[in-house]
A and B are shown apart, each in its own frame.
Chain A
């Protein structure tokens, strides 16, 4: 919709091998990102069918500010989650948003299933290309091949699945370019169910800045660029990056470890952001359109044979990965964490869910819920080799046990027992914080069950009054509906205050008042809950596992009854909203 008065939707039907563009003025009010993708999901979803039925849609959307304002780097995907069996929404950086923008597409709706593995090349039209020879290849290898077989270097983006997506693991993700992901809720399985290995988008169209906006656009761009780069608002993301959180969270007794049996580890300094930076960090890279460069790349050299034979692994690390594939599994060195991340990347799994699933598996094995015949490796916290093998077993569905693990902790605990220590909230595996009610309740009620729905972990750290928490969680998700519809990276949330958002929109020719934005946020929230209702979801279904109430948080030991009351309070607020 940039510099035009409609939303350009690209519909792709894999079954019929057809595509069409639809210029839809009626969608302009949904702006983009979360709003637009939710609307298109609502229009196309088939609630009566399985999430992995070929008829289900897979939606990708960008927003009015994508790439044209600093740090507006993300694309939003919506789908029927095969993991939580309800509303699925996932975000990714990289270059995908830029490529979509200059391929002239605001949203992509993919339905159907190819007769055999294919990949899509989207330039001025869509080519349906054979991917049979790529099926079974790692994410990285597929990327290298696509870079050779497609044009558009520099303005191109590719998104791909690994073996886990092909094999329909319910938390398989979709990797974007290198190091970025539509990680959560199983978009990779949706793509796999469509026999779609990859989508390559070439963004080489020219889009003129309207004459009347030229001066204003440059002025506002500069103002925001200055806030991004020359203030402290985003400093932490650039320097140590999100791993800066490891030590403080550990000190706060809020770092989930050993399957959340512990909230603090005695080896935090060995796997801290500082340690990674000193020992492994080799460079930082950025998503297209962001001068911060928060993507921290760590390197580890591995001897694969005697006689000084070495290979080098370069992978990106973040707090969530250090948590899920580090503290949660008791892994004590930066090198080992990077090796584990590398395997998860290659297989195309969601790192958070994978780590949490393995944490549950370890405890279940140690406590006798599952046997060695099932696990094939003797799980032991801190032993990385077992986990490296297990990640591959999950991704290839090695046996019945790994098939079950590949459906997440809720499912695995249902089959083998141990649901009290299956660390999920609302059906999705927990993230790297155990800070208090804000995190536990916020994550559970968040519309995509992500720590980023409402940042409850951050609310907890501001030591709020208990009675204010639910309202804060509720308000924050509404505010984020605006940011993720535009689509602004949430790391820049402090840069894009309301007044800046209004100014940025004006600079690209969209005039919205503060009140209109507030109403928009509510409308999108309603829309998400309408979709949820269609899929049979109710906040009543939330049962927070006991483990969250056994391990102390920054704000003390939590009470199960109180947490569920808070969920109920949130439910009432949503009901009020729906009746507005």
Chain B
């Protein structure tokens, strides 16, 4: 069974960033700058939080935009990233309609693998993985 990451309830988010930290740890970094999941305030703490994640498209626009074969279809949704083929052109990020692809300081796209590690650290079950297929 393949899994994809889902936002279950954005409004419960407290902005602790534990999910971003979890993703960073998996990537071997302390900093959340390169986390594949992004949580930020909209209008400061008085407003609500925004959670930007890869939505696991079945027809990924980012993949269509990539002319170099660096993104291929992932079973269950989303894409698999092949760094060796990436030319850092940035077209995938432009194509993503939900703003889920950001770039690291070297210019490579940060692509969510839908591993679900971040969900284990959400204190309010805002994010979850859903089994597909």
Contacts and interface: CB of A to CB of B under 8 A. Distances in A.
Interface of A: 2-3, 67-68, 70, 98, 101-102, 140, 143-144, 147, 153-155, 177-179, 203-209, 214, 217-218, 221, 225, 229, 283-293, 295, 297, 314
A98 B16 CA distance: 11
Interface in B5-38: 14-18, 21, 25, 28-34, 38
A205 B31 CA distance: 7
A290 B30 contact: no
Q: Which of B30, B40, B41, B43 is most buried by chain A, counting CB atoms within 10 A of its CB?
A: B30
Q: Which of A2, A218, A225, A291 is most buried by chain B, counting CB atoms within 10 A of its CB?
A: A291
B131 interface: no
A229 B123 CA distance: 8
Nearest to A217: B25
Interface of B: 14-18, 21, 25, 28-34, 38-41, 43-46, 104-105, 121, 123-124
A143 B44 contact: yes
Interface of A is mostly: loop
B45 A207 contact: no
B123 A144 contact: no
B25 A155 contact: no
B25 A209 contact: yes
Given A102-B32, A154-B39, A179-B45, A293 B25 contact: no
A68 B123 CA distance: 17
Q: Which of A2, A101, A289 is most buried by chain B, counting CB atoms within 10 A of its CB?
A: A289
B99 to A, nearest CB: 11
B18 A291 contact: yes
A178 B14 CA distance: 13
Contact of A293 (B14, B44, B105): B14
Contact of B33 (A205, A214, A221): A205
Contacts of A283: 14
Contacts of B124: 293
Given A155-B33, A291-B121, A293-B123, A147 B15 contact: no
Given A217-B25, A293-B123, A204 B33 contact: yes
22 contacts: A67-B30, A68-B30, A143-B44, A144-B43, A153-B41, A154-B39, A155-B32, A177-B44, A203-B31, A206-B31, A208-B28, A208-B29, A225-B121, A283-B14, A284-B14, A288-B15, A288-B17, A291-B18, A292-B16, A293-B14, A295-B45, A314-B46
Nearest to B33: A204
Given A217-B25, A289-B17, A147 B30 contact: no
Given A178-B46, A221-B25, A286-B15, 7 more contacts: A101-B31, A102-B31, A154-B38, A154-B40, A292-B16, A292-B123, A297-B45
Contacts of B30: 2-3, 67-68, 101-102, 207-209
A68 B30 CA distance: 6
Contacts of B45: 177-179, 285, 295, 297
Contacts of B25: 209, 217-218, 221
Contacts of B29: 206-209
A203 B14 CA distance: 20
A416 B44 CA distance: 42
